[in-house]
Every structure is written in C-alpha cells, then in structure tokens.
Structure 1
Amino acid sequence: MSQRAASILIADDDRAIRTVLGHALTRLGHSVRSTGTAAGLWRWIEDGEGDLVITDVVMPDDNGLDLLPRIRKIRPDLRVIVMSAQNTLLTAVKASERGAFEYLPKPFDLNELVATVGKALAAPAPGVKEQEGEVRQLAERNEDTLPLIGRSPAMQEIYRVLARLMGTDLTVMITGESGTGKELVARALHDYGKRAEGPFVAINMAAIPRELIESELFGHEKGAFTGATVRATGRFEQAQGGTLFLDEIGDMPLEAQTRLLRVLQEGEYTTVGGRTPIQANVRIVAATHRDLRQLIRQGLFREDLFYRLNVVPIRLPALRERREDVPDLARHFLAQMPAEGLPSKHLDAGAITRLQAYSWPGNVRELENLCRRLAALYVEEIIGAEAIDAELAEPPMVDGDGVAPAVDDENLSSAVERHLSAYFNAHKDELPASGLHERVLREVERPLISLSLRATRGNQIRAAELLGLNRNTLRKKIRELDIPVIRSVRSEP
C-alpha cells in the first residue's frame, strides 16, 4: 500500500529502535528525524515540524505520555503514536485519554507499526478541542493497582480495545471460559470510563430463580405478586448513571430477554406491576461463557437481543492461550495473600516452569485458588516444583459410566489432616491471623458445591437436595463463592 510522503518525528532512548524505524520509514519515502530525548522532540514540535510523531513513554528526561496534553494544546492536528514496554492497561488507557492516535506495546511488529503509520497519515485531522475538559479530568486519576494482569500479545490487544471504549457508552459483550476474568474486564470498563463516578451493579443470571429475574432487573411495586409487601428497586434503577453488568446472559429466560430487548430499543422500562416508564440511564456490559449463536440456533436466545448486546465483542483468552502471563499472575496473587492473613510465599524457577506447563481448565480463578492454598497449607517460604506437582496432580480416572473410584472418609480426612498439619507446623512459633476455620471451609465448600452441580447437570434444586441445603442457601453460596453454573441436558440413548 502506497503512503503519501510525510515528515515523521521519532523519540526513543533506544538507538537500535530509532535506527530500525528510521530505515523502514525512509524506504517508504518519508522524511525522518530521530532523537533520544523528550526535550529534543518538543523543540521540533514547537517549531512546527513533523506531520506525525512516534514516541516512547519512558525517556531519560520526561514521560512521553506527559507530552501528549501539551502537544494537543499547541498542535491539536498532530497525530501521535505511542510505544511502550510497560505494556499495562493503565498505559493504554492513558495514551487513549490523552489523545494518542494509537498505542503499540514493545516489542512491536515492524509491519504493524508501518501499517499504523499509514492509517495515521490517512486519517482526518482529530477534533479534540471540545473534549479537553473530559480528557483532562480522566488523565488526573492515579491508579495504585492494576485491574488486569498480563503482558502477552492477547492481553495487549484487549488493553487497546478497552482503551478505545473508555470514553464511550457502547454496549459490550464479553465472552470467555469460566474463570477468565470477565467481571474484571467489566469493572475496568466502568472504573476507567466516563461513568466511573456512578455505581457498578452486577447481576448473575445463573444464580437467580427464573421467576424472580424480571423483578431483580426492573424492580416491583407493592402488591405486584404474592410476597411483594413493599416496593423494591431493581438493578436497572440501582445502576442509574453507572454500569449494569449482566453476567451469564446466556442463562437469561426468554421472557426476560424480551423485556431487556425492549429496554435496549426504547431506553426505558417499567417495574413489575408498574405503569410509569422509567428512563434507563445505564451502560450495559454483558458476559457469558456459552456460545450464544448456538443458543440462538436452539431457540434459547433471541437473535435480535444478541445483536443489540454484541455491539462491541471482547473475547477473553483462556489462560492456556497466554501461558507467558502465568508467572506475573501467580506473583500478583501471592503478593495479595498477606492481606488475607496468610503468610508470604515465593515461587522458584522450577515451580514457574510447572505452572506454565499446566493446562489450567479453571483459568485465572484456578490459579488464584492454587496460590491461596500454597500460602495457607505449605511450610516453605519458597515454593518448589514438588508442591506444584502435588497440587496439580491429575484427578483419578473415571470408569465407563463417568464415575470416579470411591474415596472413603478416612482417606479424605487423612489428606486434609496432612495439609493442616503442615500448615500448623509452619506456624508453631507464632500462630497465624484469625479466620483459619472460614478459609479452610471455603476451600472445601467450593469444590463440593461445584461438583454437586456438575453431577446434577446444573439443576440447583437437585443439587440442594443432594447437599442437604435449603435452595436459597445454595444460591447464596453460589454467588458468594463465584461458582459457575452450567446447565446441560442428558442425551437420549
């Protein structure tokens, strides 16, 4: 693809990068000037030089992101491409908020950068003056913690998409396997977006009885149905001015889908039993681990609702698709353990290798729970490969009927006692912080409920009977423990 010849300014303290970019862009007919400092770049910009700027973020004398507002002020038509080796969501968001044409993580693909240069030179002049107040307000925020962890190419693409969406109210559909972090992405869209000052309200469709979903979403009037003794606000009303996160949207009953579609079309709704329309001032973010197109073919999901929700699709990769992020994620989770009253742990090189070789069927959530177990139940401060192998041992083989060999109570009890003995031995000189009983019960309770739901094919009534729990108690625990509910139908022989 031919490009019009242009004057391009490059600022990067790495001489090799300046040389490679200079040669590549010069071969395309462009005039290139390079500098290793922000001050040198700024002098050229003040003098009116350059049709396009390519700048690094971290330079010896200044931060490339901090130059962006100054560039916008004196030369709002000058396009800027930002490069960075920091490669975090925060970097991508700041670059977008401050007016960068594009953000490219290092190491970058040279062909991709050349293509981005072509797009920048062909794009119309940006109209940014009317947005300066909003951008300035967003740029002043200082985030101490990052909502998403990962420097893999897959995550970098997600960061760039999220950064472009922060200043919009577009409806977003997040898909991905259970445990990939769909709610984290939804929260990032809210926390870094223009509705950050409003509420973030989440509702899990799989954890609410079908007959109560409409009331939960839209609220109800007193006397609307048996048991409605007072007026109740729904999630739409609670989320006014903010973001409504519809998790596991694939589990929404068809009758509720019809009402949701009407809200998205008309921008208003009525409570159950009410007559007065209420304006819906919310941003919708939906998520599912299910294949909605397959559900549409099965008649279980409305096609018109799908297209209303799928305005901007974001697919989250499974952890096995971004294994290079496993070490950073594991270190992050282990660093959080002291806040839960658990001892600090570190991983040696062998442990990291084992973690990266594992397939992670439970994705990031499984890794987080593993880190919690390592911190709670192991004596060593440095966790080695042996501990990882023990914790990630494959489950027992099943027979032809899908039934695992029986494990008697004594063996289970012995296994639990062994782990707890190691924990107490590690703290024989100083007892750990309180709350051990609750933490251990949580570690046991989650797999027990999850496996019971799997055994009953997602039928919560049967699972409650199997466990000997009240149905409302089971639903509460599903929400508290963030247990995915996957409904399936037994195939006919």
Structure 2
Amino acid sequence: MSVLLVEDDMSIAIVITAALEAEGFSVTHCDSVAMRDRLLADSAFSVLVTDVMLTDGDGIAGLPGIRESFPKMPIIVLSAQNTLDTAVRATDTGAFEYFPKPFDIDELARTVRQAAMSSGAEMSDAQDTPTPGLPLVGRSAPMQAVYRMITRVLRNDLTVLVLGESGTGKELVAEAIHQLGHRSAGPFVAVNTAAIPAELIESELFGHEKGAFTGAVARHIGKFEQANGGTLFLDEIGDMPMQAQTRLLRALQSGTVRRVGGRDEVKVDVRIIAATNKDLEPMIAAGTFREDLYYRLNVVPIQMPPLRERADDIEALARHFLQLAAGEGLPRHQLSADGAELLSRQPWRGNVRELRNFIYRAALLARDDIIDAATLDTLLVSQPRDATEGSPANLDDSVIRWLADTAPGAGQVYDEALAAFERPLFSQVLRSTGGNQLRAAQILGINRNTLRKRISELDIDPDSFARRN
C-alpha cells in the first residue's frame, strides 16, 4: 500500500516515513499543495496524510475537491494549529482522522493502517515487491536525534562525519542525506577506503592518466569525478593511508582533484560524507590521522547509536527485514509477539547488520509461517559468530559472556575458565602444525611435556589434526 505524505517539516516527515515504512507502507513525500496535486494526478495512493500549513498554502482548502476525485482514498489531517476551528474544518472535509501536534507516532501508524484497510486495500499488495524509500527504520529517541541531525544538513552542503560501531547503519545515513537533500538527482558514490590497497587508493579516489604507473593502460576517472554533482561517501575513513589523507585534504580545500600522473586540476562539485567506527582523536595524538583533515570532515558529526541503545526499534527492524527477505525471494513469514520480545532481549553485538543477517537466516530456515520465540531460540543457539558479523573479537567480552552462559560452580571458576581458553587455543595451533606437538609447543612458548599433559587432560586428540592434513 502507498501513502502520500504532505508535510513541510522535514524532521516530522522523516519520523512518519520511518514509522510507516516499518509497517510495510510505501511512502511518497512532498511539502506543498501544488506538488500534492501533481502527485495525485499521476499516481494512485491508498491513504493521504497531510499537514494544514504547507509551503504554498492551506492543506485543508483543497481537500473537498480531492475527496470528490478520490472518494475511496482516506484522508488523515495533521496540524500544529490545535484549535477547535482547525479540527472542525478537518472533520468537515470528511477526514478519516485528525491529529493535533504533537501526536503519538504509533497511534498515527495504526490509524493509517486502519484507514488503508477500510479502503479495501490489503497489506500483501504492498509487500509483493519492496519499494525504495527512506533507508532508516526506527522510532526510538536515539534515532529521532539522528533524524533531527539529518534534517539540518539537507538544504546545505556541509561535510558530515558519521560515527558509530560497525553494523549500525552509517552508510544508510549517508544515503538518506543524499536521497532527501537537494543533490538527490546526482550520483551517490560509496567508497570503502579500508578495502582499497594503499598503493591504489589515490588512483581510485582521484583517477589516473594513461601511463601514470605500470598497468595504467588508459585514463581512469576517480570517485570524486564520478560523484560530480552528487554525494561522495567515504566509509572507514580512519583506515585511509596518511599520503591519501594529505591529498584528500587538498581536494576538500580547493574543490579540485589532480589525477595521478596528471598536471591539470579538475574542478569537482561533490558533497562529502565520511564515516568511521574508530575514535579519531587518539589516532590524531598517535600521528596516524591528520588533525586538519579531522576538523575539515567533522563539520557536522552524526553519532549512530548501537542497537543495544535502541532496543525499542528491534521489532520494527525485524519485521522490516522479513519484508525485504520476502522481496528477495525467501519464504514470507510473520513475526510473533513473543518472538519480537525475544529478539529485543538479545545483545546484537554486530548491531543492525547482525540482526539483518539473522532475520534472513530465520526466513530461510523457519518452517512455519509464523516465526515465534521457540523457532528463534533454536536459531539463536546455533547462530554462528564470525568476524564479518559484529565488532572484532574481544577477550574481555568473551570472558564475560562465558561466565554468564556457563555459570561454573564455586571453586571451579579458574579451572573451567582455563580449560575453556586452552582447548580452542591448543586445537588451533595443532591444526596449523598438522598435529606436530613439538612445533606447537614452540609456537605456544611452553614445554612439550606441558603441552602433552594438558592436551591429554583436555581430551584433545593431536592425531585428528594430522589426519585432516
């Protein structure tokens, strides 16, 4: 189902859009009477949600004509003018509901759903294929703070630095700024600076001329030029080599780039959004990140909250990912209330990315149409933990998690913890040596007899590693 949202306050529009898209609606947004009328003439919508005060006039004045032209389309009116007159005018137009501001976003979402169902539409129609829209999902207080920051940079080209742990959705913030801002008609080019070899990063960013280096058989246009007129997203900026940092700073200061091996300065018009999961200030102190580049990038910082700080959003995110999974060909499922509650209690150390991957796995493996707590509990027990999901391995966190999960008895904590640590350690080293205990002891830095004694106590079979090789 599709909703036409007519709202001139962008911060409110973002929150409403996120809430409705989490419920499976496709949302089209505009901020004027003229654009509303053009959109209604070109497309069919299940529900119209409109503010009263718009950029070019009164949002209520034209509603009788809209009611006449689209008698089956419910209309919901929003207004900051919380007067009796406004409420009466909204009611006189035959509005399905009237919401004075501030209103409860959950209640609005429920009302839009009721309005859509009353018009004879079905949710399944909207979910057959996912529709593009605001990429961020969530209505928690931390996310509303993010939305407010996004709205402040939409009508300008200030450089934005998005901070947050891995998997929190930093690139989605960049996409939202691009899609909702005045550069939306231009290209959005994303570059993971950590994934490019140090010797190639300047060529990737700034381009190169033919013959600039071995293998440069033709001119290459870099990411800056590819993003001309749009947005360049520099992810993992904290991993950029120092030499490239220097050239990046020069490009930001001058608005021009010089291709590797070239002489001419090429003028570029790009908005820069950078992101990192690292704390850059200690890196500045250590001399691994330029202080002047940091201040050039950190004009508008946006801090993405980890998922553990926005647990209220987990249910909406899970339902959103189930819809996306169905749109990508996986079986269609619904999430039960107890399943949502179980998901909300999980730590999700890999943040939204880990949750997304888990939901896709659940969509693939679940046998029933309804995914409940029992199904999820089984999948959570067998859930793999790898380096691509979540933050890098942390021994402190592992010990805390082991203590919580194992709960060893009094007087046994040290021995059981030592065994839990040594068993995977010795196994991995023996695997790397093909079961050779002498070489394994040398790598570990312990006596061979000590290793032999411990692997016997831990019931580790060194010959099993020899057979694998």
- Name the TM-score, length of structure 2 as normaliser: 0.57
Q: CA deviation at 1:350?
A: 1.4
What code does the residue aligned with 1:167 have?
R
In our comparison, the structure showing a higher alpha carbon Rg is 2
Aligned partners of 1:367, 1:66: CA distance in 2, in Å? 39
Pair 1:232–1:144, CA change in 2 (3 A): closer
Once the two structures are superposed, what CA deviation does each residue of 1:395-433 show, in whole Å capped at 9, x if it has no partner?
7958436946969xxxxxxxxxxxxxxxxxxxxxxxxxx
Query: Partner of 1:481 in structure 2?
Result: none
Q: CA deviation at 1:146?
A: 2.7
Pair 1:317–1:209, CA change in 2 (3 A): same
Counterpart among 295, 298, 323 of residue 335 in structure 1: 323
* Structure 2 counterpart SS, 1:174: strand
Pair 1:205–1:401, CA change in 2 (3 A): farther
Aligned partners of 2:317, 2:58: CA distance in 1, in Å? 36
Query: Partner of 2:56 in structure 1?
Result: 69
Query: Partner of 1:268 in structure 2?
Result: 256
Pair 1:218–1:370, CA change in 2 (3 A): same
Q: How does 1:349-360 map to 2 (within 5 A)?
A: 349-360=337-348
Counterpart among 222, 226, 240 of residue 238 in structure 1: 226
Aligned partners of 1:168, 1:400: CA distance in 2, in Å? 53
Counterpart among 306, 320, 324 of residue 312 in structure 2: 324
What code does the residue aligned with 1:300 have?
T
Q: How does 1:74-473 map to 2 (within 5 A)?
A: 106-107=103-104, 145-393=133-381, 399-400=420-421, 403=424
Aligned partners of 1:337, 1:160: CA distance in 2, in Å? 29
Q: CA deviation at 1:107?
A: 5.0
Once the two structures are superposed, what CA deviation does each residue of 1:131-173 show, in whole Å capped at 9, x if it has no partner?
xxxxxxxxxxxx8633111010111111111112111101000
What code does the residue aligned with 2:188 have?
F
Once the two structures are superposed, what CA deviation does each residue of 1:318-364 show, in whole Å capped at 9, x if it has no partner?
01100000111101110122221111111112111110001110111
Q: CA deviation at 1:62?
A: 7.6
Q: How does 1:9-48 map to 2 (within 5 A)?
A: none
Aligned partners of 1:182, 1:314: CA distance in 2, in Å? 9
Would you identify which runs of 4 or more consecutive aligned residues in structure 1 move more than 4 Å?
A: 81-84, 104-108, 394-398, 404-407
**Unmatched 5+ residue regions in structure 1?**
1-59, 73-80, 85-103, 109-142, 408-493
Pair 1:354–1:249, CA change in 2 (3 A): same
Asked whether the 8 Å contact 1:174–1:315 carries over to 2, the reply is yes
What code does the residue aligned with 1:321 have?
E
Pair 1:61–1:145, CA change in 2 (3 A): closer
What code does the residue aligned with 2:262 have?
G
Asked whether the 8 Å contact 1:215–1:271 carries over to 2, the reply is yes
Query: Partner of 2:84 in structure 1?
Result: none
What code does the residue aligned with 2:178 have?
H
Q: CA deviation at 1:64?
A: 1.7
Q: CA deviation at 1:67?
A: 3.2
- Name the TM-score, length of structure 1 as normaliser: 0.55
What code does the residue aligned with 1:241 have?
G
Asked whether the 8 Å contact 2:160–2:274 carries over to 1, the reply is yes
Query: Partner of 1:433 in structure 2?
Result: none
* Structure 2 counterpart SS, 1:265: helix
Q: Per chain length, whose mean CA-contact separation is higher, i.e. which structure has more relative contact order (CA < 8 Å, sep 6+)?
A: 2
Asked whether the 8 Å contact 2:163–2:275 carries over to 1, the reply is yes
* Structure 2 counterpart SS, 1:329: helix
What code does the residue aligned with 2:133 have?
T
Aligned partners of 1:310, 1:251: CA distance in 2, in Å? 16
Aligned partners of 2:335, 2:299: CA distance in 1, in Å? 41
Query: Partner of 2:114 in structure 1?
Result: none
Pair 1:152–1:83, CA change in 2 (3 A): farther
Mean CA deviation greater in 387-396 or 214-223: 387-396
* Structure 1 counterpart SS, 2:272: strand
Asked whether the 8 Å contact 1:105–1:156 carries over to 2, the reply is no
Q: CA deviation at 1:384?
A: 1.4
Once the two structures are superposed, what CA deviation does each residue of 1:428-465 show, in whole Å capped at 9, x if it has no partner?
xxxxxxxxxxxxxxxxxxxxxxxxxxxxxxxxxxxxxx
* Structure 2 counterpart SS, 1:365: helix
What code does the residue aligned with 1:177 have?
E
Asked whether the 8 Å contact 2:52–2:58 carries over to 1, the reply is no
Aligned partners of 2:374, 2:297: CA distance in 1, in Å? 46
Once the two structures are superposed, what CA deviation does each residue of 1:42-62 show, in whole Å capped at 9, x if it has no partner?
xxxxxxxxxxxxxxxxxx998
Q: Percent identity?
A: 53
Aligned partners of 2:366, 2:323: CA distance in 1, in Å? 16
Q: CA deviation at 1:106?
A: 4.2
Asked whether the 8 Å contact 1:166–1:194 carries over to 2, the reply is yes
Query: Partner of 1:412 in structure 2?
Result: none
Aligned partners of 1:389, 1:222: CA distance in 2, in Å? 57
Asked whether the 8 Å contact 1:83–1:106 carries over to 2, the reply is no
Asked whether the 8 Å contact 2:164–2:170 carries over to 1, the reply is yes
Pair 1:275–1:61, CA change in 2 (3 A): closer
Aligned partners of 1:147, 1:272: CA distance in 2, in Å? 35
What code does the residue aligned with 1:269 have?
V
Q: CA deviation at 1:69?
A: 2.7
